[in-house]
Homo-oligomer: A and B are copies of this chain.
């Protein structure tokens, strides 16, 4: 009896996950509006009606994916704020955070792609995500840079521009992977990529450091 329920629940989770995986791949590839619920169901080897059944609607499925992404993304940042790692310098902390976020996005490659692109479109959902997660992201990053400036580790450049540039470098590989791939022959999904790319970020941080 218990076994049956567990199995049932297992099957439920399995189906739900299959839909999520399929949606991530297809949304990333063809965009939200370019992907049909039937495409997703087919890719997931699942009945069409189950998408509505589990997620309510196609839109709600997208929301679910985006929330998934941002929740963990923000958590990664929170865990990296400097006063939690008192030993290291702020600059080192910025480098480590960048690397963490790059790894997080690489691990969730397709999901990151779709989220970053879809955030580009103005909609109620996106505005909510902006105020909920991206403002928090900005706030947290600002906090780190402020700490760096306070400690005279970092030049006194306007903080918002520092954050903008910093975040940009972290996001770009997963917003324009096709550009990197085709034009720069860089493959953001490859593990070696981050090593090289982090070097660039490190260089940038060195440059904004207070000249000795």
Contacts and interface: CB of A to CB of B under 8 A. Distances in A.
Interface of A: 29-34, 117, 119-122, 126-127, 130-131, 134-135, 137-138, 157-158, 160-161, 163-165, 168-169, 172, 175-176, 178-180, 182-184, 186, 197, 199-200, 203-204, 207-208
A163 to B, nearest CB: 8
B122 A29 contact: yes
B160 A184 contact: yes
B31 A179 contact: no
Contacts of A34: 32-33, 121
Nearest to A134: B183
B117 A178 contact: no
A94 to B, nearest CB: 15
Which of A32, A121, A127 has the most chain B CB within a 10 Å cutoff? A121
Contact of A184 (B30, B121, B164): B164
B121 A175 contact: no
User: Number of copies of this chain in the oligomer?
Assistant: 4
B33 A138 contact: no
Nearest to A34: B33
Contacts of A182: 127, 130-131, 134-135
16 contacts: A29-B121, A29-B122, A30-B33, A31-B32, A31-B33, A31-B121, A34-B121, A117-B117, A120-B178, A130-B178, A130-B179, A130-B183, A137-B183, A161-B197, A164-B180, A164-B184
A138 B183 contact: yes
Contact of A121 (B117, B138, B186, B197): B117
A131 to B, nearest CB: 7
Contacts of A121: 29-31, 34, 117, 178
Contacts of A203: 157, 161
A117 B33 CA distance: 13
Contact of A168 (B168, B178, B207): B168
